[in-house]
Each structure stands twice: as structure tokens, then as C-alpha cells.
Amino acid sequence: MDIFHIEGPVQLSGSVNINGSKNASLPIMAATILAPGKSTLRAVPYLSDISVCGKLLSQLGCKLTRGQNDELSIDSTVIDNPVGEYEIVRRMRAGICILGPLLARCGRAEVSMPGGCAIGDRPVDIHIRGLRELGAQIHLKNGYIIAEAPNGLKGKDIFLGGPFGSTVLGTANVLMAATLAKGQTIIESAACEPEIADLANCLNKMGAKITGIGSPRLIIKGVKQLQPVEFEVIPDRIEAGTFMIAAAITSSELRLENCRLNDMMAVVDRLRNIGVTVDAENHGCVVTRKCSIKTADITTQPYPGFPTDLQAQFMALLALAEGNSVIIEKIFPDRFMHVAELNRMAANLRKEGPAVIVAGVKKLIAAPVMASDLRASAALVLAGLAAEGTTIVSRVYHIDRGYEKIEERLNPLGAKITRQSI
Ligand code: EPU
């Protein structure tokens, strides 16, 4: 179990290249199940979640090889064990998105129910509902979802909304299954996240017929088969947002290369509103903070709203604002494990149901803190960059799930982070 020692406060400068998106890569890796043969994906980041997903695909029968430049080849010619084991899916909930493609390809799938999660309840009822609508017979046995469609899936008009709006991986599952279903499927209330658009673009490159990409109404005309693909995944908008906040929280200027501002308008809008400059430049942007941080009211929402995956990091930034801010979490109402840890660093945060009142303080003070989930741990690292003294973040394996060697990315910019294995 590694820990980080983060010396602060620091100022950052220089440029950073944004990696390929974790949350686009994971469903696209699952999509290769649909197309027997060897697919080659580019810009797949080196993250522990990607390795875990690779293990899951290997257990199904796929052969994976890493090439140069973040390339990942997946040979899905043979899939002889359509089972997603508990040991893997419990470690990475995105494992659930092999369910739809396995069912479409093999007519049968057994995938473990994911189980508990640090960011709150994360049911998969909508995934199951959507696949049932396509004609799958699904039951639960010994903690596993057993799905069968011996005579194939049939296209249908499906409303896929849930209590919190659309579902990202639920949309991915039903979309992938529908590509090989007989006839036309309409997914209404589909997730519009750029990662789902990227998946749909990849599926179309494989030979699928999907229109409405990026909108809440996806129309899928089923095809008989899909072909292997060469595809480059989009840059990670959450990693980009985290580096933007790193520049803002340290009163610095950073250049981000390979980042799509169009995928991040809600975040850029909030940053500009609180006094951070974000200027588009070539295929990226320059982020600068020169004045004090103003307050903001933020509500997380499905895309194109403010992403829940940047809520914790933004809270660390607003902890230093001049006045009171309010952050309301509308996707995962319990995603606030970072609140108590940031308060250990002299932030003044008060949780009120699914909201946090952030009373700005003049400075953060280093403390030993514990990472609880991926984005919460990113918030602690950001706070550590700005805090006075040496912040010690334990359980950094959480951050390794979604940020590739973050200390090696931040240190050349001026951060002082050391990783210690204990
Ligand atoms: N929901 C249901 N039933 C379902 C599915 C979802 O009620 O069957 C609810 C969830 O409990 C939640 C809301 O719907 O309240 C939205 O959840 P969603 O299904 O969209 O989340 P997800 O697909 O499981 C992905 C990302 C998360 C990100 C969310 C929201 C991946 C691998 N994961 O999860 O990313 O927070 O969408 O944008 O794409 C992260 O990267 O740190 C992360 C947690």
C-alpha cells in the first residue's frame, strides 16, 4: 500500500499532455467482444482499472497485448467462458459492461453483481431492465446475473431513464447489445456523455448502424456482425479538469495539451466564473489563476451538466474561495467521503444531506489524510499542493485507478510529491 508525501504550498508551471479517457476505454474494451478478431485501440491509459478490465477479458478467452504509444490490442476470436467473476467485478464496477456484449455475441452471460461502492449505492437495475426489453431472460443466482438469449436479441423502443436521469454504463450495455439485435432499437433517455459518444463512434467503425450519437435518443439498426477495429479513444476530460484545478488551486499557469474543451463546457464555465482564466490553444488550453477565488454554486448533473467526477476536486478549490459556496450532488448523493478528510486540512465544510456548504478559508494546513475513492483522493492531492506543510495521503491505490502516475506528471510541473511503499 503506497502513500504520498506532498509538500506544499507549491506553484506549478509548464505543460502536461492529457491521456486517453479511462471511462471511454473501459466500455470500448468491452465492445471488442462483439467483433471476433483482433482490434487495436490507441491512447488507452496505463491505469489499474484498465489492467483489471484486461484480466476480465482474458478470463473470457480474449488475448491482450500492449503495443507502443498506449496501444492495446484485443484478440476476441475465441470467447469460450462468458463469465465475469466476482473477484474482478467487485474491484471494478465497470466490469458490468461486458454483460450486454457477451449476451449479444454468445447468447448467454454470467456476470457478478458488482456489490458495494465507496461513492454510494450503485444499482444495476436499469442495465437489467434494458437488456430484458431486448428479449433477454435474466435471473440472479448466487450473486451472479445470469442472462440468456438463446434465439438472439430483438430491437425495441426502450426508455432507459432512472431516478437520477440517464445511466452511463447502462446505456453502454444496452447500446452494445442492440448493435447485434434483430431490427431497430431506440434508446430514449440515453446518456449523452462524450465517453458514450466515443463508444458509439467506435461501434459504427466496427460496422454498427447508430444515429443520434451524443443525444438522449440513440437509434440503432441491428446488423448481423461487427468487424474488428482500429480506434483512438478521446482524451480524458476528468483528468483534464483535475489538472485545470491543480493550476487554479496553486495560483499557477498550466498548459494542457490534447484536451477537448467542448467536452468540458460546464467545468470551464464554473472556472471562469470564479476567476480562473481558461484560454483555448491549438488542441488544448492554458489555465491561469491570478486573482482570489470567487464563490460558486455547483450542482452535479448528467452531461452536459457539471460532472460528479470533478465534484471532490472542485470542493478542494472552493475551500479556498472568498466566501461561502454550495455544492449539491445529484448523481451520487453520498459521494462526500472527502469532506471529513478536507476538514482535517483546515477546510470548513458542512454536509447537509446531498449538499455541502463550503465556507472559504484563507489557507489549508497539511495533515495525514486517507483516500477513500478515486476522485476523493485526487481532491486530497490537490489540497496537498496548496496546503502549508507535508500532507500524507494514504491508500493511494485509489488514485492509481484513474490517474497514471500522477506524481510523475505533477512533479515536473513543480509539485513535490514522493511515493512511499509501506
Ligand atoms: N443508477 C441506477 N440504476 C442503474 C444504474 C445507475 O439507479 O441501473 C443510478 C446510479 O446509482 C447513479 C446514477 O444512476 O445515481 C448514474 O449512474 P451511472 O450509471 O451513470 O454511473 P456508472 O455508469 O456506473 C459512470 C462512470 C463513473 C461516473 C458516473 C456518472 C465509468 C466506468 N464510470 O459510472 O465514473 O461517476 O458514470 O457520470 O464510466 C469515476 O471515474 O471516478 C467514476 C465513478
Give me the DSSP letters along 32-67: GGGS-SEEEEES----HHHHHHHHHHHHHT-EEEE-
Q: Measured in whole angstroms, how far is the alpha carbon of residue 247 from the centre of its chain? A: 21
The alpha-helical segments, DSSP class H, found in 237-373 are 237-249, 265-273, 311-318, 337-344
Q: Phi then psi for 394, rounded to 5 degrees?
A: -95, 165
With CA atoms as reference, report the closest residue to 236 among 403, 371, 51: 403
- Please state the atom number of ligand 1 nearest to the C-alpha of residue 333: 15
- How deeply is 99 buried, as exposed, middle or buried, from its count of CB atoms within 10 A (0-12, 13-18, 19+)? buried
With CA atoms as reference, report the closest residue to 155 among 84, 208, 82: 208
Sheet containing 108-112: give its strands across: 83-84, 108-112, 144-148, 137-141
- How deeply is 365 buried, as exposed, middle or buried, from its count of CB atoms within 10 A (0-12, 13-18, 19+)? middle
Residue listed under C-alpha cell 467483433: 35
Return the amino acid letter for 354.
Answer: P
Mutate to test the pocket of ligand 1, among 23, 93, 113, 400 (most ligand atoms within 8 A of CB): 23
Give me the DSSP letters along 317-356: HHTTSSSEEEEE-SSSTT--HHHHHHHHTT-EEEEETTEE
Q: Which of 53, 62, 106, 117 is catalytic?
A: 117
- Please state the atom number of ligand 1 nearest to the C-alpha of residue 129: 8
Question: Whole-angstrom Cα distance, residue 33 to residue 229?
Answer: 11
Q: With a 6 A CB cut-off, is 94 part of the ligand 1 pocket?
A: yes
User: Grid coordinates standing for 326?
Assistant: 454550495
Question: Is 192 one of the annotated active-site residues of the chain?
Answer: no
Please tell me the distance between residue 361's alpha carbon and the centre of ligand 1 in angstroms: 32
User: Grid coordinates standing for 250?
Assistant: 496553486
Question: Whole-angstrom Cα distance, residue 171 to residue 312?
Answer: 25
Which pTM does this prediction carry? 0.98
Residue listed under C-alpha cell 460558486: 296
Q: What is the CA radius of gyration of the chain?
A: 21
Q: With a 6 A CB cut-off, is 169 part of the ligand 1 pocket?
A: yes
Q: Is 1 helix (H, G, I), strand (E, B) or coil?
A: coil
Closest residue by CA, ligand 1 atom 16? 167
Q: With a 6 A CB cut-off, is 243 part of the ligand 1 pocket?
A: no
Question: Whole-angstrom Cα distance, residue 122 to residue 114?
Answer: 8
Q: Give me the tens of pLDDT residue by residue for the chain, a chain 422 residues long.
A: 899 999 999 999 999 999 999 999 999 999 999 999 999 999 999 999 999 999 999 999 999 999 988 999 999 999 999 999 999 998 899 999 999 999 999 999 999 998 667 787 789 999 999 999 999 999 999 999 999 999 999 999 999 999 999 999 999 999 999 999 999 999 999 999 999 999 999 999 999 999 999 999 999 999 999 999 999 999 999 999 999 999 999 999 999 999 999 999 999 999 999 999 999 999 999 999 999 999 999 999 999 999 999 999 999 999 999 999 999 999 999 999 999 999 999 999 999 999 999 999 999 999 999 988 999 999 999 999 999 999 999 999 999 999 999 999 999 999 999 999 98
